[in-house]
Amino acid sequence: MNLKIKIEGMSCEGCAQSVENLLKARKLVNAVKVNFTEKKALIEFNEASNSKKEIIEAIKEKGFKVIEAE
């Protein structure tokens, strides 16, 4: 399953890399690409009942704001 999200609060490329590394470390995530300039992330993950919520919560816990998720 794929998830596109807009993330606010990233102030540099290091922030984007931090989010990317955070998500790559999760077992349910297969692939992730965070684009700092567009403030977006494209995430491919294993479908489970709470996977999307888990991903969004992990980003929020890192201190960023998820604006929209589709």
Over residues 10-62, the pLDDT tens digits come to 999 999 999 999 999 988 899 999 999 999 999 999 887 678 889 999 999 99
CATH of segment(s) 2-69: 3.30.70.100
Which sequence spans correspond to the domains of the chain?
2-69
What's the pTM value of the predicted model, to 2 decimals? 0.85
Q: How many CB atoms lie within 10 A of CB 55?
A: 23
- List CB contacts of 19: < 8 A, sequence separation 6 or more: 7, 10, 34, 41, 59, 62, 64
Counting every residue, how long is the chain? 70
pLDDT of amino acid 49: 65
Residue 47 Cα distances to 8, 9, 27, 33, 50, angstroms: 25, 27, 12, 18, 8
